[in-house]
Amino acid sequence: MRENKVEILAPAGSVESLKAAIAAGADAIYIGGSKFGARAYADNPDEDQLLEAMDYVHLHGKKMYMTVNTLMKEQEMGQLYDYLYPYYIHGLDAVIVQDMGVFSFVRKHFPDLPIHASTQMTITGVYGARLMKELGAERVVTARELSLREIERIHQEVDIEIESFVHGALCYCYSGQCLFSSLIGGRSGNRGRCAQTCRLPFDVKQGGKTLNKKDERYVLSLKDLATLDLIPDMIEAGIYSMKIEGRMKSPRYTAGVVSVYRKYVDLYLSTGRKGYHVEEADRQILRDLFDRGGQTDGYYKKHNGRDMVVWKEKPAFREGNQELFDRLDQEYVGKQMREPIEGSVYLEEGKKSCLILNGCGQMVTVYGDVVQTALNQPMGQDKVKKQLEKTGNTPFVFDNLEITIGGNIFMPVQALNDLRRKGLEALEEAVLAVYKREKLNHKADFADNDNDDGDNKKRSDREDRSKTDDSLNTFKLYVSLERPDSLTAALESDGVKRIYIDAAGFSPELWKNTVDSCHKAGKECMLIMPHIFRTEAETFFDRNMDKLTGAEFDGVLIRSMEEVGYLKSHAITLPMVFDYGMYGMNQQAEAMMKGLGADSLTWPVELNAKELGKLKIPGELLVYGRLPMMVTAQCLHQGMSGCDKKPGVLMLKDRLNKEFPVKNHCTFCYNTIYNTDPLSLTGLEEQVKRLGPSALRLQFTVEDREQTREIIENFSQRFLYGRTDSLLEGEFTRGHFKRGIE
C-alpha cells in the first residue's frame, strides 16, 4: 500500500548523493550496485557500502530501489542470484528491471521482491502496462515521451503504480531503442555504458544541401526536463512516483533538485491548485544547478517540438551560484539526519536500570547494571538526562526523555553510557528488522535455475548440429521491406521464402494484394508492426482492423510489448515473430518471450557469434540491413522545415563525415536514424552455419528496387548455393557479430 499520495524518487550515484537526497526530502532512492546498472560509470557502491546505505535509508523511513536494468548475457545470468541475495535478505524495497530474463529470474527466485519495469522497456501505453502487471510488476516507469493523457489512461485502466521522470536529462531516443553509442563505439546504452553520442554536433542534409545553420548543429541534444509547473497535472494524471534523473551528477545537484520538488509537491498536496504558484527564484535554482542550454517541460503536453532541442553548443564556462552551492552544502550535503525518539528511564536502588525507547514505529526495553546506593551526594535527574541524551553519531535524537528515580541512587557514567548504547542499538535493530527477510535455502532454491548442465548440453548440441545434420545446412532466407517499390525484387527471387512488409511503408490498401502476390509466388507474408506503439498506432490499427484481418497475413513481426497486449486484447491470433529489439539476450529471456506468445524469435544484434551460440532457441539472424541507431519521438524534418506529414529521408552527417539516413514515419509519428553503413555477414557463411539460426533475414530500409534485387541475389548465391565469388560493392559493417559489446 502507498504510504504517501506522491513519492519523490531521487537518484544516487554514490552514498554521498543518497544521504544528500534523504536530507533534502526524498521519499525513495534509486541506486546501482557494482554490476548490472544502467549507469556503469557512476560511483556505484560495493556490497558492504550499499548494505550500509540501505540501513541508512530504512532508519529514516525511506525506500531504496536497486537498478538491475541492463540487458544480461547468458554467461552473466549465473551471477545474478549471488549478487541479489544479500540485498534481498537485507530488505531491498524493489529492483528496477529491463531484461525479461532478469524479470523471470527474480519472480522465480525472489517472489516477494517487488519489480519495477524500467523505462528501458519502452512502456508506452495501457497494453504494455497491463502486460507488466500480469507478469508480476508492481510498477511501470513510463517512457519519457508519453503525454499526460496517455499516462492518465494507464492510471485509469491498469491497477499498477506509475513512475515518470519529472526532472533531468532527456534522451533523444526512446529509452531501450538506442544503438547509436553501441554500434559506433561498442558502448551500449542497454548495458549502462552510453557514450552520449547524441550530444555531439551534426549537420542535417538533403540532396547535398545543409539545412541547419552553422551555430545550430546540436540537433540531437535535448534540453533538460523541468516540470514544476506541471506538478498538479502530473499528480492528477496518476503519476505516483516523481523520478529525478541524475545518477552521474553531484550530491549538491541531487539535494538542490530534490528540495525544490519536495517544496512544490507538498504545496500542491496541502493547498491544491488554488494555492499552487511557482516562484521564479526556484526556477533559477534549478538552472543554476545545471543548464545544458535551457529547460523544457518535455513531452507531457506535446508530441515533440523544435523548442525542446538545444541546437547551440553549451558555453565552455558559466559563472556558478556559489551562495546557492554553499547553502546546499550546509543544509543537505553531508548532513547527519536524526530521527526523533522518546525515552523513559527507571533508576531505583538495588534494581536493574531500565530504559524504554519509542521511535520510528518501534518500542524497545533494555536493562543495564544494578543501580547503586549513593554513599555521598545522590545522582539527580539533570545529570542522568545530560548523559543519556548524548546520542552521538547514531541516527536518533531525543525529542523527550523522562526520568524516574527511586531513592538515593548512583550509577557510574560508564554504566549510563552502556545503558544508552544498548537501548539505541536495540531500537535500530528493531527498526531494521521490519525490512529484513528470512534467509532462503540458497542451494535448493538455485538448483533448479535454467542455467544447469542439462541446458548447457542442449546448447552444445545446437552449436554442433550443423556438423551432424546436412539437412540443416540449407538456410531459409527472409526479407523485410519498408518500400513498396522493392516488393517485385523479393517476389522474383526463388530463394526468398518469407516477406515482411512494413505497416508504415505499405498502406493498408496494399495489404491484401501484397499478401496475395506473396502467396501466388509461394512465399509467406507477414506484417511488420511499428517500432513504437502509441495512440497514433492504436488509432491506425483500430481504423484498419478489417484490412488487417482480411489480408490473411501469415503472421506479424512484433517490436514492442504494447503490440503483444494490443493483439491479445483484439483476439488477433496471428503467429508472432519477436524482432531483435525485444531483446532475448539470454536463455531465460528467450523462454519468457515464448511464454508471451512468440512463435519464433529474432536474435539480438548486440551479441557476438560466440554469445549467440549460448542461446537455446534458434532465432532469425539479421545478415544484412541498416540497423536503426535511434527511434525517436522528435522529428528532424519538423525541426528543419515544420511538420507537413510527408514521409521522407534526410541525412545526418557527423564530424567524421559519416552520413546516417533519417526517415520520418508519419503514419506512427516517429523518426528512425539508420546506421551509415549496412550490416553484411557475407564472407562469414561458415560461422553463420555453425550457429544454426532458424532463418536469415535481409532488412531493407532505404534501398530502391535495383539495390534490393542485387542484394537478394548476392546473399542467395552465397548463403543458399555456396557460390562465394560474388561480392557486394560499397561500405559495410559486421555490426557486433565479431566484436560484441562490453
| Percentage of the chain exceeding pLDDT 90 | 86
pLDDT surpasses 70 at 21: yes
Which of the pair, 168 or 727, is modelled with greater confidence? Answer: 168
Rounded to whole angstroms, how far apart are CA atoms 73 and 718?
A: 30
Among residues 218, 225, 194, the alpha carbon closest in space to that of 69 is found at 194
| Range 233-268 burial, b when 16+ CB lie within 10 A, else e | bbbebbbbbbbbbbbbbbbbbbbbbbbbbbebbebb
Residues written for the chain: 742
What sign results for the dihedral spanned by CA atoms 243, 249, 254, 260?
A: negative
What value does the mean pLDDT take over residues 593-614?
A: 97
Residues with Cβ < 8 Å from 134, sequence gap 6 or more? none
pLDDT, tens only, 624-648: 999 999 999 999 999 999 999 999 9
Q: 77: which 3 cell numbers? A: 545470468
Q: 509: which 3 cell numbers? A: 490498401
What's residue 441's pLDDT?
A: 78
What value does the mean pLDDT take over residues 561-572?
A: 96
What's residue 42's pLDDT?
A: 55
Q: Are strands 161-168 and 139-141 parallel, antiparallel or unpaired?
A: parallel
Longest dimension (CA), the chain: 112
684 with 236: CB under 8 angstroms? no
What's residue 467's pLDDT?
A: 42
Radius of gyration of the chain (CA): 30
319 with 330: CB under 8 angstroms? no
pTM: 0.93
Q: How confident is the model at residue 192 (pLDDT cuts 50, 70, 90)?
A: confident
What's residue 336's pLDDT?
A: 87
What's residue 541's pLDDT?
A: 98
Residue 440: half-sphere exposure toward Cβ, Cα within 13 Å: 21
pLDDT, tens only, 311-336: 998 877 677 899 999 999 999 998 88
Rounded to whole angstroms, how far apart are CA atoms 71 and 100?
A: 8
Q: 43: which 3 cell numbers? A: 560511483
Q: 119: which 3 cell numbers? A: 523505462
What value does the mean pLDDT take over residues 95-120?
A: 97
pLDDT surpasses 80 at 253: yes
For all residues of the chain together, what is the average pLDDT? 92
pLDDT surpasses 70 at 616: yes
355 with 343: CB under 8 angstroms? yes
pLDDT surpasses 80 at 726: no
pLDDT surpasses 60 at 189: yes
What's residue 33's pLDDT?
A: 84
Rounded to whole angstroms, how far apart are CA atoms 613 and 610?
A: 5
Rounded to whole angstroms, how far apart are CA atoms 48 and 582?
A: 34
pLDDT, tens only, 425-483: 999 999 999 999 999 876 444 444 444 444 444 444 444 444 434 433 579 999 999 99
CA-to-CA separations, 569 to 126, 127, 248, 596, 668, in angstroms, rounded: 11, 8, 40, 13, 20
What's residue 317's pLDDT?
A: 67
What's residue 376's pLDDT?
A: 87
In terms of Cβ atoms closer than 10 Å to its own Cβ (0-12, 13-18, 19+), residue 472 is middle
Q: Are strands 28-32 and 63-68 parallel, antiparallel or unpaired?
A: parallel
Among residues 440, 371, 365, the alpha carbon closest in space to that of 406 is found at 371
What value does the mean pLDDT take over residues 485-505?
A: 97
What's residue 448's pLDDT?
A: 43
289 with 258: CB under 8 angstroms? no
Residue type, 109: H
Q: Are strands 28-32 and 7-12 parallel, antiparallel or unpaired?
A: parallel
Rounded to whole angstroms, how far apart are CA atoms 290 and 325?
A: 12
Q: 643: which 3 cell numbers? A: 511538420
pLDDT, tens only, 640-698: 999 999 999 999 999 999 999 999 999 999 999 999 999 999 999 999 999 999 999 99
What sign results for the dihedral spanned by CA atoms 484, 489, 492, 498?
A: negative
128 with 560: CB under 8 angstroms? yes
| Helix segments in 572-673, DSSP class H | 587-595, 609-612, 636-641
What's residue 452's pLDDT?
A: 45
Residue 379 dihedral angles phi and psi, to the nearest 5°: -80, 130
What sign results for the dihedral spanned by CA atoms 287, 290, 293, 297?
A: negative
Q: 642: which 3 cell numbers? A: 515544420
Rounded to whole angstroms, how far apart are CA atoms 228 and 306?
A: 21
Rounded to whole angstroms, how far apart are CA atoms 222 and 220?
A: 6
